[in-house]
């Protein structure tokens, strides 16, 4: 008999508390849709009572069409000085109009005294009253018992009583939190057993969840132990991002649950998209992907020479604990890497690009892809560039225009005024050479304007292309300011949005490459629309 488990992702809230991990509104929306496609059950979008970005995100997502996932708004119990119906935090949670509300409360008496500065009985009151007030306003109501394990070790009776009040308030799932991340697996097990007995003694119809932090490198282990004991919900983040040392890593938990422990969840049915999802989160956060990460790292199924390679070629089970394709990853033989065809075929099918598995050009695409990746290109957040690459190798991509030359000049004439930037560009379009120039707010903007000025007379539809995001990532610091950079551009028109990429030691050239792909992709899509 399969066992059901709920997957609760908090990358957009808890994950963004990680150092150097930042997401724009557009990034959060894009990740939400990707998590939905990946079968995540609950997506925690933020704390609407704490910052305007969270409020804007929930407003934006009210019109979104999620196929499976349910959005959760996160917040705290009411302030002791405020009645529930006058508490700004609770009102913000209701205003988010999500299907799920998750609130946290204090389980550890030291936090009640030192953080809230109220009496223990007062804390019990605000837990129950906050949940009771929210219950009629939401489909699903979850309670995060903050610092539960530490609180239990200090004062077990009180920690359990906080759960009792959450049950009385109407919470349908009690999530036990190792907020400081200090628990070891052998400590978690007896505490969960005691909580299960407490809930059973009350005759309560509630589920339990686990929310583990990774300060002792045990978040995944603690989560898996909890689930093996019958806990029904696991909370974590993609790639383990989170405050301090991070949260329980869902990219390790999900394959363990579905491929090794026999648990049933929607994310398990979509587990082959895990690698792609993990890479997308990193790319949008503008952070390097951890190549040594289990399951989804580039090195997770890499074999380097000698006995290992010989054995793996005969039988991959000799040195691989799962088939890499199950999580969307692939095997790499570092001395003669010939893998990757299945990934390209998967993308081709997604893009509607027809290519037979026996087509010799498929190997050319793989070789070109690997060469570009070695140069620093990454296509997880730039699928439009990857589709153009495939079509160019296959000979099905038109050349809408060719660059002859460009120049960008920055000048600062007075120190109290912003710099002036002018770009000139020379293109060949439909056999005709075109010159144009434009002023802009920086060289990238100036080149963008000059390109449009040259191309719109031939392709009026480019008027509606809007650049909505622009990211620069230094790929290597060994040359200081002369390091190679990767530029990721996000564009949109009236129907869709797409990402493109460029790489160079020159940030202007990298930006140019991404802009060329952005315009070319728009023109290609319009051609397809016209031809049906």
pLDDT in tens, 412-446: 888 888 889 999 999 999 899 999 999 999 999 99
Give the model's pLDDT for residue 306.
Answer: 58
CA distance 371 to 388: 16
Could you tell me where the DSSP H helices lie in 263-382?
266-269, 274-284, 306-314, 341-351, 360-375
Decide if 407 contacts 399 (C-beta within 8 A): no
- For residue 318, tell me if it sits in a domain: no
Q: Mean pLDDT lowest for which of 46-50, 241-245, 270-274, 513-517? A: 46-50
364-378 burial by CB neighbour count: b if 16+ within 10 A, else e? Answer: ebbeebeebeeebbb
Q: How far are the Cα atoms of 114, 168, 200, 202 from residue 206, in angstroms, in the given order?
A: 30, 11, 9, 10
Q: Is the pLDDT of residue 516 over 50?
A: yes
- For residue 62, tell me if it sits in a domain: yes
pLDDT in tens, 118-146: 999 999 999 999 999 999 999 999 999 99
pLDDT in tens, 17-41: 999 999 999 999 999 999 999 999 9
What letter would DSSP give residue 258? I
Q: Is the pLDDT of residue 2 over 80?
A: no
Is the pTM higher than 0.85? no
Task: List, edge to edge, every strand of the sheet that includes 485-492.
Answer: 466-474, 485-492, 497-504
- For residue 80, tell me if it sits in a domain: yes
Give the model's pLDDT for residue 333.
Answer: 64
CA distance 417 to 410: 13
Residue 237 half-sphere exposure toward CB, CA atoms < 13 A: 25
pLDDT in tens, 74-107: 999 999 999 999 999 999 999 999 999 999 999 9
- pLDDT band (50, 70, 90) for residue 531: confident
Domain that holds residue 265: 3-284
How many domains are contained in the chain?
Answer: 2
Domain boundary pick from 241, 267, 284:
284
Decide if 226 contacts 210 (C-beta within 8 A): yes
Angle at 154 between CA 152 and CA 155, to 5 degrees: 65
- For residue 263, tell me if it sits in a domain: yes
Mean pLDDT of all residues belonging to the chain: 92
Q: Which residue has the higher pLDDT, 10 or 442?
A: 10
Domain boundary pick from 284, 308, 337:
284
Give the model's pLDDT for residue 18.
Answer: 97
pLDDT in tens, 470-488: 999 998 766 677 789 999 9
Tell me what the mean pLDDT of segment 231-250 comes to.
98
CATH number at residue 263: 3.20.20.70
Tell me what the mean pLDDT of segment 315-342 comes to.
75
- For residue 174, tell me if it sits in a domain: yes
CATH number at residue 492: 3.30.160.270
Share of the chain above pLDDT 90, in %: 77
- For residue 385, tell me if it sits in a domain: no
Give the model's pLDDT for residue 32.
Answer: 98
Give the model's pLDDT for residue 338.
Answer: 41
- For residue 364, tell me if it sits in a domain: no
Domain boundary pick from 257, 284, 311:
284
- pLDDT band (50, 70, 90) for residue 337: very low
- pLDDT band (50, 70, 90) for residue 519: very high
Main-chain dihedrals φ then ψ at residue 171, nearest 5 degrees: -65, 135
Q: How far are the Cα atoms of 2, 39, 136, 190, 250 from residue 233, in angstroms, in the given order?
A: 15, 14, 22, 18, 12
Decide if 344 contacts 365 (C-beta within 8 A): yes
Give the model's pLDDT for residue 172.
Answer: 98
pLDDT in tens, 155-206: 999 999 999 999 999 999 999 999 999 999 999 999 999 999 999 999 999 9
Neighbours of 395 (CB within 10 A): 7
- Residue tagged 């302030």 (tokens): 79
- pLDDT band (50, 70, 90) for residue 305: low
- pLDDT band (50, 70, 90) for residue 336: very low
Answer yes or no: do 52 and 178 share one domain. yes
Neighbours of 352 (CB within 10 A): 8
Answer yes or no: do 407 and 262 share one domain. no
Q: Is the pLDDT of residue 69 over 80?
A: yes
Answer yes or no: do 38 and 177 share one domain. yes
Q: Is the pLDDT of residue 311 over 90?
A: no
Main-chain dihedrals φ then ψ at residue 399, nearest 5 degrees: -95, 100
- pLDDT band (50, 70, 90) for residue 350: confident
- For residue 378, tell me if it sits in a domain: no
């Amino acid at each position: 008999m399969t066992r059901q488990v709920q997957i609760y992702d908090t990358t957009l809230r808890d994950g963004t508390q990680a150092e150097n991990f930042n997401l724009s509104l557009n990034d959060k929306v894009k990740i939400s849709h990707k998590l939905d496609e990946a079968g995540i059950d609950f997506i925690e979008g933020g704390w609407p009572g704490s910052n305007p970005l969270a409020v804007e995100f929930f407003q934006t997502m009210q019109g979104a069409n999620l196929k499976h996932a349910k959005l959760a708004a996160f917040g705290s119990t009411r302030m002791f000085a405020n009645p529930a119906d006058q508490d700004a935090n609770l009102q913000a949670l209701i205003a988010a109009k999500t299907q799920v509300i998750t609130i946290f409360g204090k389980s550890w008496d030291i936090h009640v005294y030192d953080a809230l500065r109220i009496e223990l009985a007062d804390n019990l009151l605000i837990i129950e009253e906050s949940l009771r007030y929210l219950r009629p306003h939401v489909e699903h109501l979850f309670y995060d018992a903050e610092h539960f394990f530490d609180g239990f070790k200090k004062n077990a009776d009180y920690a359990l009583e906080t759960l009792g009040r959450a049950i009385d308030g109407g919470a349908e799932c009690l999530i036990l939190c190792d907020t400081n991340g200090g628990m070891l697996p052998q400590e978690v097990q007896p505490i969960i057993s005691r909580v299960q007995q407490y809930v059973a003694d009350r005759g309560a119809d509630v589920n339990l969840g686990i929310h583990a932090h990774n300060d002792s490198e045990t978040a995944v282990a603690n989560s898996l132990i909890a689930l093996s004991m019958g806990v029904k919900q696991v909370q974590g983040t993609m790639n383990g991002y989170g405050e301090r040392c991070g949260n329980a890593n869902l990219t390790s938990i999900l394959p363990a649950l579905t491929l090794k422990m026999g648990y049933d969840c929607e994310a398990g049915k979509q587990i082959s998209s895990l690698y792609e999802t993990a890479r997308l989160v990193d790319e949008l956060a503008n952070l390097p992907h951890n190549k040594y990460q289990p399951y989804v790292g580039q090195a997770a199924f890499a074999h380097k020479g000698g006995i290992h390679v010989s054995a793996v070629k005969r039988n991959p089970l000799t040195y691989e604990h799962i088939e890499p394709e199950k999580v969307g990853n692939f095997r790499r033989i570092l001395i003669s890497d010939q893998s990757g065809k299945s990934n390209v075929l998967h993308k081709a099918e997604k893009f509607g690009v027809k290519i037979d598995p026996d087509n010799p050009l498929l190997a050319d695409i793989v070789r070109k892809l690997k060469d570009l990746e070695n140069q620093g290109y990454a296509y997880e957040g730039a699928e439009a560039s990857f589709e153009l690459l495939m079509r160019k190798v296959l000979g099905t991509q038109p050349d809408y225009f060719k660059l002859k030359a460009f120049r960008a000049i920055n000048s600062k004439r007075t120190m109290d005024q912003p710099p002036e930037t002018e770009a000139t560009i020379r293109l060949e379009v439909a056999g005709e050479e075109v010159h144009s120039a434009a002023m802009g707010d920086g060289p990238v903007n100036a080149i963008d304007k000059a390109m449009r000025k040259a191309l719109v007379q031939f392709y009026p539809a480019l008027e509606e292309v809007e650049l909505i995001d622009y990211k620069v990532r230094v790929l290597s610091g060994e040359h200081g300011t002369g390091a190679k950079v990767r530029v990721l551009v996000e564009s949109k028109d009236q129907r869709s949005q797409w990402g493109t990429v460029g790489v160079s030691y020159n940030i202007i050239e990298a930006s140019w490459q991404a802009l060329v792909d952005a315009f070319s992709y728009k023109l290609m899509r319009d051609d397809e629309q016209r031809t049906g």
